[in-house]
Amino acid sequence: LGRAHVAMSERLSQSQLVKSAYRELLRFIRRLPASEQPAKLAEAAETMRKHRSETNAQKVSDLHKELVAKIGWLRIVTPRRQGDSQRIGAGNFVIRDGKLVEGRAGSKGNRVADGKVSMNEAREIHHRLLRRQYFGKDPPKSIGPF
């Protein structure tokens, strides 16, 4: 009974993985041009039906790997739709005028590499930031080789 339960739970988790990957595959197929969608959807459905009753764990694992590879390929070749980045949770957000808005922070350009700040000014800024980091106290002297 113990082995059968473990095998069934493994098969169930593999089944859930395959179903999840299949749903993701369908989402990517729907991003394809309308002329390519029907053939790709039919091919995906046919493949899933063909291997629906597969019980060999190694074979299921191999089929799952193929499915993931197809998803990877489609992820590369399909264009993103408007708003996909927000749905995934990606994006850049900043607070402007007390409101959270999408965008990037403006750079002040106070960099030595830009040539806008001299080396001495950069050193002063650096030491001021170090004192701030140590709550107004001077930072400890470095013990390392630098």
User: How confident is the model over 94-129, as pLDDT tens digits?
Assistant: 777 777 777 766 655 445 556 677 888 888 888 888
Predicted confidence band at 4 (pLDDT cuts at 50, 70, 90)?
Answer: very low
Spatial neighbors of 104 by CB under 8 A, at least 6 apart, are 92, 94
For the four alpha carbons of 113, 117, 120 and 123, in that order, the dihedral sign comes to: negative
Across 11-15, 23-27, 49-53, least confident range: 11-15
Q: Give pLDDT, residue 75.
A: 86
- For 84-103, the pLDDT digits (tens) are 654 455 567 777 777 777 77
Helix (H) or strand (E) holding 67: helix 57-77
The pTM score is: 0.49
